[in-house]
Amino acid sequence: MMASGGALTTSEYIVHHLTNLTVGHGFWTFHLDTLIVSGLLGLLAFVGMAKLAARATSGVPGKLQATVEMVLSFVDQQVKDTYHGKSPLVTPMAITIFVWIFLMNAMDLIPVDFLPLLLGFAGVHYFKAVPTTDPNLTFAAALTVFVVMMVMNVKVKGVGGFLHEVFTVPFGAKLAPLNLLFRIIEDIAKPISLSLRLFGNMYAGEMVFILIALMGLWQLPLALPWALFHILIITLQAFVFMMLTIVYLSMASESHG
């Protein structure tokens, strides 16, 4: 069922579902749907986990506690296997990234017409429910990782050690300009690839759901298999973003002498 009525053409229907709820103009345009959904999911996840931790028992855990403990143990093991430095920040950051991105990705499993139809009664005509299909959010997350990475570079190696690495690796001090050029390209590529990988996969998945919804009643044989397969995609994308973050922070903590 189409949320905006049968008068919409196919292209109008697609554009409608891919248009953000915005406020402001030009550079200062805010995507309210991205901010609202990501903020609410963050509060739901981490306030809920904090309350669960306060009520945790050392005996036989309930299903929810067991699930959360399994996720935390899994992420903690990935950090131990990948990050060999000493920082109390890495594991909490990895847990935050994995859980938050997974929940934002999981919004893609809500039928594409459900929220637009529901919010349409309140006069809200555009609303993208999946924050990770918005490049503004994925770039913001990647830039946050990049800033932490640069701070860790300086903190672990010192200003002198960091500059020495920038100008001498990998070709030695005699080729300092070339080393600097390669380092700039490498560091710029990290947040760009990190953000575009998540955005591209989630945007493509959302587009498939929209195209399936256009089939009307014929969507039923396709929607469920794609949703089940998409559970793997949303989990994998959260895992990849988390693992690359750990790898980047591990690289920032290692010295090349």
Give tens-digit pLDDT for 22-56: 999 988 999 999 999 999 999 999 899 899 888 88
pTM as predicted: 0.91
What pLDDT does 209 receive? 93
Instruction: Tell me how crowded residue 5 is: count the other CB atoms within 10 A of its CB.
Output: 10
What pLDDT does 184 receive? 96
Q: Which residues of 139-150 are buried (b: 16+ CB within 10 A; e: fewer)?
A: bebbeebbebbe
Known catalytic residue at 201: yes
Is the CB of residue 194 less than 8 Å from the CB of residue 142?
A: yes
Please identify which of the residues 179, 201, 250, 253 carries the catalytic annotation. 201
What pLDDT does 257 receive? 53
Known catalytic residue at 55: no
Task: Report the C-alpha gap between 233 and 249 in whole angstroms.
Answer: 24
What pLDDT does 219 receive? 79
Residues of the chain with pLDDT under 50: 1-5
Please identify which of the residues 193, 250, 253, 255 carries the catalytic annotation. 193
Known catalytic residue at 136: no
